[in-house]
Amino acid sequence: MKLARISKPLRSVQVRVMLTDELNARLERYARYYEHVHGEAVETRTLIPEVLRAFLDADREFQSWSRSAVKTIPRRITAPALSSAAGKAQL
pLDDT of residue 79: 58
State the alpha helices, DSSP H only, in the chain. Answer: 21-38, 44-58, 60-72, 84-90
Is the whole-model pTM more than 0.75? no
Q: Distance between CA 23 and CA 18 in Å, rounded?
A: 10
Minimal CA–CA distance to 57: which of 2, 16, 10, 13? Answer: 2
pLDDT of residue 6: 76
**7-20 pLDDT per residue, tens:** 776 577 888 989 99
Q: Distance between CA 12 and CA 60 in Å, rounded?
A: 24
Q: Quick check: 59 and 2 in contact, CB under 8 A?
A: no
pLDDT of residue 58: 92
7 phi/psi in degrees, rounded to 5: -115, 150
Confidence of residue 25 (pLDDT cuts 50, 70, 90): very high
**31-87 pLDDT per residue, tens:** 999 999 999 999 999 999 899 989 999 999 999 998 888 776 665 666 555 555 555
With a CB cutoff of 8 Å and minimum separation 6, the contacts of 25 are: none
